[in-house]
Amino acid sequence: MIGAALSNHSQIEVVGLAGDARQALALTRRLSPTVTLLDNRATRDLHQVNELADRSSLIMMTRRTEHRALVALLLRTPVRGLLVHGHFEPSDLASAVTAVASGLGWLSPVAAAVAASALRDAKDDRASCGPADDATAPDSGDGHASGDSPSRMPRAARNP
């Protein structure tokens, strides 16, 4: 579905589809895509995420909307974009891919709100000499979203 939505875009070529993170890594090593779209349930292994991000620009797709989970994703994984399911339009997929491919970023509105408020909060913390944010605290677990379907669909796309 996502691969199909992107393949209609003239500037984007979908070069590979992977069903799990290991497969995604193998494809990324072979195909060197410009951008990789990764479902955040595909792996909890940060090494895998880091290697994917080293080999291409990474956009994470997530169903999570809580402040803490989104901040953790932004701070603990080297993503350049976050697409939150249910909070983006189909055309945002291509916008996110082209933005990230050109070295910029992309945040769905709910993620943008979280990121902006994290910036503000951190300033307040510093002003009051309080302890650091919850961003560096151990995370409740990015992969534990309940009720999510078990399907894992990381995908790689290349912008020629």
For binding to another protein (CB under 8 A), which residues are involved? Answer: 50, 53-54, 56-57, 71, 74-75, 78-81, 95, 99-100, 102-107, 109-110, 112-113, 115-120, 122-123, 125-126, 131-133, 135-136
Of 42 and 71, nearer to another protein (C-beta) is 71
Of 105 and 152, nearer to another protein (C-beta) is 105
Say if residues 7 and 152 touch (Cβ distance below 8 Å): no
Of 43 and 77, nearer to another protein (C-beta) is 77
Of 26 and 116, nearer to another protein (C-beta) is 116
Minimum distance of another protein from residue 93's CB (angstroms): 14
Minimum distance of another protein from residue 25's CB (angstroms): 15
Of 113 and 152, nearer to another protein (C-beta) is 113
* 24, 41, 125, 145 from 79: Cα distances, Å: 16, 14, 25, 19
Residue whose C-alpha is closest to residue 76's, from 140, 147, 7, 6: 140
Burial 105-117 (b: 16+ CB within 10 A, else e): ebbbebbbebbee
